[in-house]
Amino acid sequence: MSDLRYSVVRFKRDLRVTDHRASELVQSRTTARGKSWNQSKQTPLHDSYASMALRSFLSRCHWQCHFMQKLEDEPAIEFHPLHPALENLRPPTPQADFLDAWQHGQTGYPFVDACIRYLNTHRRISFRMQAMLAAFAAYGLWIGWRRFKDPLARASLDYEPGIHYSQIQSQSGTTGINSLRIYNPSRKGSDRKRATKKQSADDQLNPPIK
């Protein structure tokens, strides 16, 4: 029950959502987790694909609890880097036009802009693309993670503080533990374009960077 109370309190404080909305979201997460656990015990062993999918989902649930507890044990990671030597890695105040362009999908990088506009419209995006957006802000625009953590949290409907702050720091390279994750938005966009088979000479998604 402690993790449920924690989620409700954090949602109220950080996103200013109503009691009803916070409780509804926490309840839906708990229900989904319970159903998956019961289903995993009833899944035939020969159904390897279904069993693997359920184990993967339950693993994600365990990691969610891990990061929630991590923030509960060390709340300072919301405001300070995990590695203190990286406190001043980036300037405390970035260029205002850089942060504004990133928030509104006007960076000039088509794939980055498409992802941030999609997130602002639909309030959700895949984990990999959200990681790319954070890494681009941190490395491509050299914006400190404390400046873009809140805008990214407000844009995400599935925002969970425990996961969010740890991942933001990981994508910004301030943990001192994780390897540096620098995404190439042009390559990502090109890969996605080839995967969806949308080849058009008149609509070059990502021109080469010179």
Q: List, for residues 123-144, the tens digit of each pLDDT value.
A: 999 989 999 999 999 999 999 9
CB-CB contact of 171 with 181 (8 Å): yes
| For residue 186, pLDDT beyond 50 | yes
Predicted confidence at residue 201, as pLDDT, reads 47
Average pLDDT of every residue of the chain: 77
Query: Out of 48-62, 65-79, 80-94, 162-176, which region has the weakest mean confidence (pLDDT)?
Result: 48-62
Which of 73, 100, 119 is the last residue before a domain boundary?
73
Q: Do residue 92 and residue 150 come from a single domain?
A: yes
Q: Do residue 91 and residue 63 come from a single domain?
A: no
| Residue 109 in domain | yes
Predicted confidence at residue 12, as pLDDT, reads 41
Which residue in the block uniquely carries the two structure tokens 């708990």?
30
Predicted confidence at residue 6, as pLDDT, reads 44
Predicted confidence at residue 13, as pLDDT, reads 45
More confident residue, 195 or 62: 62
Q: Do residue 107 and residue 162 come from a single domain?
A: yes
Predicted confidence at residue 64, as pLDDT, reads 82
153 φ, ψ to 5°? -65, -45
Q: Rounded mean pLDDT of 49-74? A: 84
8 vs 134: CA distance, rounded Å: 25
CATH number at residue 189: 1.10.579.10
Q: Do residue 68 and residue 95 come from a single domain?
A: no
Q: In the structure, what pLDDT confidence band is assigned to residue 31 with cuts at 50, 70 and 90?
A: low
Predicted confidence at residue 174, as pLDDT, reads 93
Which of 42, 73, 104 is the last residue before a domain boundary?
73
Q: Rounded mean pLDDT of 144-151? A: 94
More confident residue, 11 or 158: 158
More confident residue, 101 or 16: 101
- What's the domain count of the chain? 2
Q: In the structure, what pLDDT confidence band is assigned to residue 4 with cuts at 50, 70 and 90?
A: very low
Q: Rounded mean pLDDT of 47-57? A: 77
Predicted confidence at residue 145, as pLDDT, reads 94
**Among 148, 157, 64, CA closest to 112:** 148
Question: Could you please report the per-residue DSSP string of the chain?
Answer: -HHHHHHHHHHHHHH---HHHHHHHHHHHHHHHHHHHHHHHHS-TT-HHHHHHHHHHHHHHHHHHHHHHHHHH-GGGGTS-SSGGGTTSS-SS--HHHHHHHHTT-SS-HHHHHHHHHHHHHS---HHHHHHHHHIIIIIS---HHHHHHHHHHH-TT--HHHHHHHHHHHHT-SSSSPP----HHHHHHHHHHHTT---TT--SSPPP-
**Among 64, 55, 47, 83, CA closest to 169:** 83
| For residue 7, pLDDT beyond 50 | no
